Amino acid sequence: MNGGTDLQPLKIKRKKRTIVLLWSLGVLGFLLVGGLIAADFYVERSLPVISGTISLNGLSHDVEVTKDDQGVPHLSAKSEKDLFIAQGYVQAQDRLFQMDLSRRQASGRLSEVIGEKTVERDKFFRTLGLRRAAEVSYTAYPDETKQILEWYAEGVNAYMDQAKEKGRLPVEFTLLGYKPEEWTPVDSLTIGKYMAFDLGGHWQGQAFRYWAMKNLPEEKAYDLFPSYPEDAPEILASVGDSGLDIEASFASSVIPPEYNGSNNWVVSGEKTANGKPLLADDPHLSLGTPSIWYQMHLNAPDLNVSGVIFAGIPGIILGHNEEIAWGVTNTGPDVQDLYVEKRNRKDPSLFLYDNNWEEATIIKEPIAVKGGEDIPYRVTITRHGPVISERASQSDDDGQVLSLRWTALDPSLELQAILNMNKAGNWEEFETALEDFHTPTQNFVFASNDGTIAYKANGKIPVRNKGDGLLPVPGWEPEYEWQGFIPFDELPVTVNPASGFIATANNKVIDDSYPYHISNHWAQPYRYMRIAQYLEQQDNLTIDDMKTLQMDKVNLHAAEFLPFLLEDLKVLELTAEQKEAVKLLEEWDYEDDKSRAAPLLFHSWMDTLSKDMFKKEIPDTMMDLFEGRQGIVDEMLRNAHKGEESNWFEPFGGYKAYLNGTLKKALKELEESYGTSMNDWKWGEYHKVYFEHPVSSASPLLKWFFNRKDPIPVGGSRVTVQAASYNNEGIVNHGGSWRFVIDTADMNEGYHIVGPGQAGHFKSEWYDNQIEAWVKGEYHSTHLNDEMEGMNKLVLKAE
């Protein structure tokens, strides 16, 4: 009994503790729910206002902004002034954080809001000087274009001021703890310069090949060139032993994705069902949230144009008006040269040129770092351009350094070209507008409702007196200076060809008779080959055929290589697993379908083939600079099949032994990930698309907010028309960032896909509503002239 009596107070205490704990948990739960409700309310209020009336200073007349069922804003204004003010306002409503991040990245100012993690990135962009180039370009624009940039900036700032005053800035600014600065015309031009950077120019390949010539046996190094380097011995002899440490110099460089490219084509009325031209365009760029593109329709007196633009820039860069349509792919010319510069050891501001010492320009670029002290930094600019090989050390002791000559660092007038393209009514007017589009060089295709189809590789492409863009050249020798640029009237052009169509896919666009050098690097030809194959084989083409072709998954890379690779493999003794794999590949129809096993096996094998060969001799930091690796390996495989075996196969026991070993390795890795039954393997289990928000990787909670949809299985690959390039984890992060087709018989209606959606706010219905459409190829139509009754209508009211 005494034991029972002693336990009673203990039970009472435990009960009280339980009640207190439950009450505490209840209070915490209430506070948590209350906090989530408050946070939800805070986030909700930053959603753009899309209906009703908003007063806007600066407008002369009211502007109507109607958003259709895909969130595409249709702006109707009575003057260009009002139109561009409204365009800036509406873009900022949907994409202000993206716009601010874009200008910061291009200007080298990310560390101010992110911290130490981005210091090296900022150093790289401060060195390149995209913003300095934008500032110089601004001074070259005519007054009327400067005025449009000012109007656009006025609209962006009007939205920012309202959002700051009412506490409605996008939540990303709150998470990073800062508010955006005033928008300026130079900000817009800087974003344009960044796109020229993103579409590349091959400097990294020159650096890699220079490293290869210094660190690998000559024959092995030559195998890594895109073509036989006839000038290499002479250039290397001129440069001498520079002592440059390429690996250390460029370890933290920002290299654009190699697969930045695109598809486009136009078909004449002779091959279409209704006798009018068709046009298709799908630029291949990085995929993320929000999309790199913002779709809009702009309407004012003498202007009615629809399409896409980079957030932060006025006008429409790709799309159509009531008479013409156009699209682009990247030409990829050699517009960058590295120069080895001899620095004066006594005075590091002097560099040798033509037996004289010339003084470089030294620019101080201190880098502000969130939570830390400013980092002193300087940029040295020679006659050729910024010195890009000394970011890490900032040392004055280097006897030689590398500077960069690049067309995008010159003054250029791309926005002028865009605004004139928007108003062009025929090919002659459109081509005239292209005279101001200098960088990046693009393959423009054109179609109009008068029946014309046309093509032009347009931009400033240097003419070299000596050197061919394969290796860095001696900066002190005048004979390596650029002699000018390919004349505008001599750039590659085609109008109404007899074939009835024109297509480009970053492939070689000239033949050996063309008198000027354009590039040493062209994309693998398989996308172009498939487009041409499809268009050649069919007549009576329709808009639906264009959509089908954009989503085509036929892999002509596999169609070329598998027959002879499997033939060469079969002469060896194969394991049971290898025999099963061979049978699987032989029965494949070469379509990169997400539900099939063969694409997974083929791409895994090819990735292993293109990487393992170099692992022992090329450091990871240099692999990042190894431009065109897959194409170079392809050529090695072709030659080896013909009996011309590269020395790179020797350490593996020869070409056929290398095939055998890499297939075994690929099979082992696939079995570990997907099981031993090949019948259960699926390309889509590995190959999945994911539109990542730049803030979402910071924590699981932010990932839940900004990227609620898991990666989705998708077909296609790097070499199919349905472009879907992927990282080492199989995540598709690069591909058709915007898909567009139009039938010029009805210039009122264009068909689009903008993955993942139009909006930048994660609570908007248009934030990620086009992801499934991107995967399945489901287009939405956008109209130039139709009344949109029942849609969301916002009136920006003149005060």
Q: Which residues have a catalytic role annotated? A: 262
How far apart are the C-alpha atoms of 692 and 690, rounded to whole Å?
Answer: 6
Question: What is the token pair recorded at 112?
Answer: 């101010």
334 annotated among ligand-binding-site residues: yes
**CA proximity to 521, closest of 339, 333, 338:** 333
- 337 assigned to a ligand binding site: yes
Q: What is the DSSP letter of 227?
A: S
Distance CA 487, CA 405 (A): 19
Amino acid letter, 448:
S
Contact 649, 661 (CB under 8 A): no
Q: Give yes or no for a contact between 442 and 417, defined as CB atoms under 8 angstroms apart.
A: no
User: Which neighbouring-strand residues pair with 324?
Assistant: 448
Question: What does the alpha-carbon distance between residue 111 and residue 764 come to, in Å, rounded to a whole number?
Answer: 29
DSSP class of residue 375? B
Rounded distance, CA 573 to CA 575, Å? 7
Question: Tokens 């990829």 — which residue?
Answer: 332
DSSP type of residue 685: H
DSSP annotation of 478: G
Q: For residues 265 and 279, what is the distance between their CA atoms, to the nearest angstrom?
A: 6
Contact indicator for 65, 794 with CB cutoff of 8 Å: yes
Helix H or strand E segment including 259: none
Q: Tokens representing 636?
A: 């090695």
Helices 598-612 + 629-641 axis angle, to 10: 90
Nearest-5° Cα angle at 426, 745 to 70? 50
Q: How many other C-beta atoms can be found within 10 angstroms of the C-beta atom of residue 479?
A: 13
**Single-letter amino acid code for the residue at 406:** W
Residue 125 has, within 13 A of its CA and on its CB side, a CA count of: 28
Q: Which of 412, 345, 351 is nearest to 386 (CA)?
A: 351
Q: How many residues does the chain have?
A: 799
Q: Helices H, strands E: what count in the chain?
A: 25, 30
Strand partners, 556: none
Q: Rounding to the nearest 10 degrees, give the CA dihedral for residues 258, 259, 261, 264.
A: 160
**CB count in 10 Å sphere of residue 243:** 8
Single-letter residue type at 770: Q
**Other CB atoms within 10 A of residue 198 CB:** 17
Residues 6+ apart with CB under 8 A from 532: 501, 503
Task: Take residue 70 and report the two structure tokens written for it.
Answer: 């895909």
Q: What is the DSSP string of 690-732?
A: --B-TTGGG-HHHHHHH--SPPEE---BTTSSSBEEE-TT-EE
Query: Is the four-CA dihedral 464, 465, 468, 470 of positive or negative sign?
Result: negative
Task: Report residue 672: phi and psi, to 5°.
Answer: -65, -35
In the annotated binding site for Ca(2+), the residues are 334, 337
In the annotated binding site, the residues are 334, 337
